[in-house]
Amino acid sequence: MSSPTGAGAAPAPRRVLAQTRFETRAILRNGEQLLITLILPVLLLVALVRTTVVGLTTDGATRVDVVAPGVLALAVMSTAFTSQAIATSFDRRNGVLRLLATTPLGRGGLLAGKVLGVLAVEVVQVVVLGGVALALGWQPDPSGIGAAVVAVLLGTAAFTSFALLLAGTLRAEAVLAIANLVLVVLAVAGGILVPAGALPGPLAAVASVLPSGALGEALRAALQDGVLAGGPLAVLAGWTVVLGALAARLFRWSS
Amino acid sequence: MKRYDGRAVVDGLDLVAERGAVTAVLGPNGAGKTTTVECCEGLRSPDGGRVRVLGLDPATRARDLRPRVGVMLQDGGLPTGARPLELLHHVAAMYARPVDVAALAERLGLGSFARTSVRRLSGGQRQRLALALAVVGRPELVFLDEPSAGMDPQARRAVWDLVGELRADGVAVVLTTHLMDEAESLADRVVVVDHGRVIAEGAVRELLRSHDDRTLRFSAAPGLTLTGLAASLGGGGVPPASGAHGEHAAGEHAVHEVTPGDYVVTGHVDPHVLAALTTWCAAHDVLPYAITVGRRTLESVFLDLTGRDLR
Ligand SMILES: Nc1ncnc2c1ncn2[C@@H]1O[C@H](COP(=O)(O)OP(=O)(O)O)[C@@H](O)[C@H]1O
Ligand SMILES: [Mg+2]
């Protein structure tokens, strides 16, 4: 503790980068988070491709070509929504958001670090899931990779906004329950794994305007057919605007 | 001023902290200590009044203040999954010229639990980590909210030493505490708050002096005739109103036989008064078999000021 004063802040990019690394490590090191973001999606991918327990209409495509984009969409949802909502709500309850906001990182840097942390985990997911899918014979359309990246970014924005809305307004225990429940319900009936059109009756219409259905649809269009699907992307953008505005208004930094 | 549910929990509280000095905000539970320092940290916004930290308004100039102000929250705020040393490195990365992390960790004895997750640390270990995070960025001002809560005596000693060093480095230290010995041994100035108001403030020495002096007790044969003793202790001899904790001007003394054979001199006590007492005894052929000079502790001053009821 020699010379006392006038230290000053580290440059903003360095602060945000440090926070990104910190958040990424926190997710990848937490057993439950790892289970929902990586292990379950991998198991699901293998099970859906290798078994026919779940009937799929593939319209002539291979099973893996239909399943892989859906599992990627699910993985994005688990990281950007479920994992982020749970982590942020407990950070809020434990005062972590308050403490970090008193360092030069500030609230803006903290949020930026969280969002970039989500994207970093998604890169890990894409590498792992993509590798497994390729090994299972997946043949994505290379011309759709740009569209897929757009879909992942918009899906991440919509789901992270939703995560922050829950985490910043409800008790941590409630967020834990809701975030897991929503993940399961949307995985089964939200048009993310099974195309919305294949869902029974009115569910098909509902699922296609949910962020889950839109993300699944956009990724399947991109990676199966190399198409930039305007409709689903517009749905994701709409959810981002609405949920983001609500989160910005209602988010409370302390519990 | 800060209101919760329409009730003012901090109202008219003036607090000035100087560089190179430790200011202790002392008060019972619920007095408004945390509310006050968190308004200064920009974590809560006051409903009235004026807060300036290093000359800046924490509500609007947070960005400028954050690199210069270190904060240790009462509720910790540590991420439960993180490991102490890693967290310290992480927070250090937010500052341009942090202190040497390894040396700081060593000072506060973080090494013994550097790789245990925060979730599994004891209260005192968490407090030490939180303190390290508050000072790692070389702040000009640090707010420590109940810094030694839950610490064992060794850890508390390490914290006190560190606070002393910060002061020597010219840092302004504001700490809240309800521990009298902490305030008494650490603080240059004490601000006693209760019900959101300052009820006394000053240097520890002044506080102890102004709230009744030392007392001088002696034991001797019961039933001594005390006439003239008070006067010979320094003149005046007007006894103060009983039960008052007001100031006694030098020279105003009173002597009471509180129980048979036990005498208490109240008023200003110094070596001359002690000498005058023994001179009086010699002149009256009285042999006291015990003479004690008692100093008031901050604790008794505190209890007198804030009352003895629990909140
Ligand atoms: N967020 C809050 N909502 C309602 N009341 C609060 C809140 N924070 C503090 N209080 C009340 O304000 C008073 C002062 O609290 P606090 O500043 O924490 O006291 P201290 O730190 O001196 O123990 C207490 O009566 C407490 O119950
Ligand atoms: Mg408190």
pLDDT of A177 reads 97
Between residues A249 and B309, the one the model is more confident about: A249
Exposed/middle/buried for residue A25 (C-beta within 10 Å: 0-12, 13-18, 19+): middle
- At which of B208, B242, B262 does a domain end? B208
Q: ipTM for the complex?
A: 0.87
Is residue B310 one of the residues assigned to a domain?
no
Q: What is the CATH number of the domain that holds B68?
A: 3.40.50.300
Same domain? B197 vs B250: no
Q: Which residues of chain B fall below pLDDT 70?
A: 1-2, 4-10, 12-14, 209-214, 235-251, 295-301, 303-304, 306-311
Q: If you take atom 26 of ligand 1, which residue's CA is the nearest one?
A: B30
Q: What is the pTM of this model?
A: 0.81
pLDDT of B296 reads 64
Q: Cα A58 vs. chain centroid, distance in angstroms?
A: 25
- Of A155, A145, A69, A9, give the one whose Cα is nearest residue B62: A9
Is residue B300 one of the residues assigned to a domain?
no
Which contiguous run of DSSP H or E holds residue B199?
Answer: strand B197-203
- At which of B163, B189, B208 does a domain end? B208
Structure tokens at A29: 């090191």
Provide the residue range defining the domain that includes B250.
Answer: 214-295
Is residue A62 one of the residues assigned to a domain?
yes
pLDDT of B227 reads 80
Same domain? B163 vs B278: no
Q: Does the C-beta of B78 come closer than 6 Å to ligand 1?
A: no
Provide the residue range defining the domain that includes A213.
Answer: 12-49+58-250
pLDDT in tens, A39-91: 999 999 999 998 877 777 777 778 899 999 999 999 999 999 999 999 999 99
pLDDT of B9 reads 65
CB–CB contact A104 B95 (8 Å)? yes
Structure tokens at A247: 């989160």
Which contiguous run of DSSP H or E holds residue B69?
Answer: strand B69-72
Phi, psi dihedrals of residue B115, rounded to the nearest 5°? -115, 10
Is residue B311 one of the residues assigned to a domain?
no
Exposed/middle/buried for residue B103 (C-beta within 10 Å: 0-12, 13-18, 19+): exposed
Same domain? B103 vs B132: yes
What angle (nearest 5°) sits at the alpha carbon of residue A253, between those of residues A252 and B4?
70
Same domain? B50 vs B130: yes
Contacts of B67 (CB under 8 A, 6+ apart): A7, A8, A9, A104, B95, B96, B137
Is residue B44 one of the residues assigned to a domain?
yes
CB–CB contact B94 A98 (8 Å)? no
**Which residues on chain A place their C-beta less than 8 Å from a C-beta of chain B?**
1-10, 14-15, 18-19, 22, 26, 29-30, 90-91, 94-106, 254
Is residue B306 one of the residues assigned to a domain?
no
Same domain? B140 vs B27: yes
Is residue A39 one of the residues assigned to a domain?
yes
Is residue B226 one of the residues assigned to a domain?
yes
Is residue B159 one of the residues assigned to a domain?
yes
Indicate whether A5 pLDDT > 50: no
Whole-number Å distance between alpha carbons of B295 and B298 = 10
Query: What would the mean pLDDT of A233-247 be, rounded to a whole number?
Result: 96
Q: Does the C-beta of B250 come closer than 6 Å to ligand 1?
A: no
Same domain? B204 vs B218: no
- Tell me if B233 sits within 8 A of B276, measured CB to CB: yes
Q: If you take atom 1 of ligand 1, which residue's CA is the nearest one?
A: B4
Is residue B37 one of the residues assigned to a domain?
yes
Is residue A24 one of the residues assigned to a domain?
yes
- Tell me if A155 sits within 8 A of A117, measured CB to CB: no
Is residue A153 one of the residues assigned to a domain?
yes
Whole-number Å distance between alpha carbons of A215 and A180 = 18
Same domain? B154 vs B220: no
Buried b (16+ CB within 10 A) or exposed e, B114-139: beebbeebeebbbbbbbbbbbbbbbb
Domain count, chain A: 1
Is residue A7 one of the residues assigned to a domain?
no
- Tell me if A167 sits within 8 A of A178, measured CB to CB: no
Same domain? B144 vs B96: yes
pLDDT in tens, A177-210: 999 999 999 998 898 988 888 888 888 889 989 9
- At which of B163, B186, B208 does a domain end? B208
Same domain? B104 vs B236: no
Is residue A36 one of the residues assigned to a domain?
yes
CB–CB contact A9 B66 (8 Å)? yes
pLDDT of A52 reads 78
- The number of residues in chain A equals 255
CB–CB contact B97 A7 (8 Å)? yes
Distances in Å between the alpha carbon of B275 and those of A146, B253, B280, B290? 95, 14, 9, 14
Same domain? B152 vs B19: yes
Torsion sign (Cα): B158, B161, B167, B168: negative
- Of A14, A153, A28, give the one whose Cα is nearest residue A87: A28
Distance in Å from the first CA to the final CA of chain A: 34
Indicate whether A109 pLDDT > 70: yes
- Of A35, A89, A88, A78, give the one whose Cα is nearest residue A180: A78
Same domain? B113 vs B196: yes
Contacts of A172 (CB under 8 A, 6+ apart): A86, A89, A90, A92, A93, A255
Domain count, chain B: 2
